[in-house]
Amino acid sequence: MHTPLLRRRHFTFTLLALVGWGFATSLQATSPASVQRILVLGDSLSAEYGLARGTGWVALLQKQLTQEKPGVEVINASISGDTTSGGRSRLPALLKKHQPSHVVIELGGNDALRGLPMAMTEGNLLEMTKQSKSTGAQVLLLGMQMPPNYGPDMARQFEAAYAQVAKSQKAALVPFFLKGVGDDPDPLKWFQPDRIHPNEAAQPRLLANVWPTLKKQLK
C-alpha cells in the first residue's frame, strides 16, 4: 500500500533532477567562457581621434559583427597617444575585467614616432601576446610601418618585429594596418589635416584590412 507514495516520491525526485540538470545546462550555455568578446587594445588610430563618435573602424567592426556574427561584443580599450609600454601595463587588468575570447593589438605607431628602442617595442608586443594567450584568448596583431625618414633598414626591422612575434606565438597578423591608406599614391585624401590620423573616409578601409583575418578567428 506504500507503492503509490514511493512512486510519487520517485517521480518528484526525478523531475527535480531533470529541472536541475536543465538549469545547469542553461547556465553552462550562457557562461562567460561561451561568449565571444573582442578586446581592441590600440592608440589614436582605434580611439576615434578627431572623428565623430561611432565612425571609427572599431565602431564599424561592431556593426559588421551585428550583421554577420550576432552576439559578439567589442570592447574598445584604445587610448590616444598610447605606446606598446602603456598597452602592456594596462593589459592584465583589462584581461581580468573583460575576459575576452579575442585580443586585437594595434600598438607600435607611437613607438616609431618617438624613436623608442626597437627591442623594447618587440618585447612589449611579445609580452602582450603571451599574456593574452595565457588566458585562452586568440590574438590578432595589426602591423605598423615606420616613417620613411628613419631609413629603409629601420623600417624593415620595425615591420619584421610584428611578423616575428606573430610567428613565434602562432598569432594572427595583418602585416600593415594602414594598407590602402598610408601607402596610397595620394595619401593626403585619407588623412586629417595633421597628416597623421586617418579621416572618416579611411575607416572602412581600415576595417577591410582587419575583418578577413579576424573573421577566420571567430567561430
Active site residues: 44, 194, 197
**172: phi then psi, degrees, rounded to nearest 5:** -80, 155
Query: Do residues 141 and 159 touch, judged by C-beta distance below 8 A?
Result: no
Q: Which of 207, 200, 201 is nearest to 178 (CA)?
A: 207
